[in-house]
């Protein structure tokens, strides 16, 4: 089959791109049908904010998953997940300033500088925007080694996003779960932990390979 090799190489990208648009399509359909009745602005900002946070955490998980499993294709979708996180964060902010504040820059300025959850959320959005703009290969060539240093700010954005969620909600359980995930992913990024995970993966792969080699050599004794 002609698409066989291409699909094996790119199936994860296709799944990520298709799945990332589902929440936005669902949101638009729900809004068009008037499904948000109780507090439409709050419901939509909460939905888009959570979606942005989930995609951001998934983008952070790509490198650790690749380190632990050895699957290189996971790293290839990291940029797409980060850009989709920026997309939903942008929609989240647009709903906030458009529907909640009616594009009143005076009220918006007061909110940004007076409410801590708005401050950290705005800061996280600015970082994601900066990383999105500089995510191209052209910027990688221009910044060289500084590109990786700059893009480590994604972890700062994740921490700020979790703090934004934590200070915004009355029930801290859900944001604390995200905080635990981000903390775990940060831990897996530490060089000693990454080296230990790589060694463990290689040992398991070696044992599995030896086991597969022994099995064909085993001869069933005749009855």
Q: Where are the domains of the chain?
A: 6-208
Q: Which residue has the tokens 């632990």?
A: 68
54: its two tokens:
């989930």
pLDDT for 187 equals 87
Task: Give the pTM.
Answer: 0.85
Dump pLDDT digits (tens) for 92-112.
999 988 887 777 777 777 777
Residue 46 in tokens: 């909460």
- Phi, psi torsion values for 171, nearest 5 degrees: -100, 110
Cα–Cα distances in Å, from 37 out to 48, 63, 88, 194?
17, 40, 22, 47
The span from the first CA to the last CA of the chain, in angstroms, equals 44
The pLDDT of residue 219: 46
Which of the residues in the chain have pLDDT under 50? 1, 219, 221, 223
């Amino acid at each position: 089959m002609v698409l066989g090799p291409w699909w094996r190489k790119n199936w994860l990208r296709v799944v990520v791109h298709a799945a990332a648009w589902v929440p936005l399509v669902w949101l638009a359909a729900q809004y068009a049908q008037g499904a948000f009745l109780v507090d439409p602005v709050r419901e939509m900002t909460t939905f888009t904010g959570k979606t942005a946070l989930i995609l951001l955490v998934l983008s952070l998980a790509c490198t650790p998953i690749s380190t632990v499993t050895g699957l290189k294709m996971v790293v290839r979708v990291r940029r797409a997940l980060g850009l989709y996180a920026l997309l939903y964060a942008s929609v989240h902010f647009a709903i906030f300033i458009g529907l909640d504040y009616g594009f009143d820059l005076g009220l918006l300025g007061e909110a940004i500088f007076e409410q801590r959850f708005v401050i950290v959320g705005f800061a996280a959005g600015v970082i994601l925007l900066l990383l999105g703009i500089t995510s191209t290969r052209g910027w990688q060539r221009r910044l060289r080694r500084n590109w990786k240093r700059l893009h480590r700010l994604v972890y700062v954005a994740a921490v700020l996003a979790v703090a934004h969620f934590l200070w915004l909600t009355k029930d801290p359980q859900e944001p604390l779960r995200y905080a635990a995930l981000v903390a775990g992913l940060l831990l897996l990024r530490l060089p000693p932990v990454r080296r230990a995970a790589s060694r463990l993966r290689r040992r398991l792969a070696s044992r599995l390979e030896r086991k597969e080699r022994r099995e064909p050599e085993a001869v069933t004794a005749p009855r």
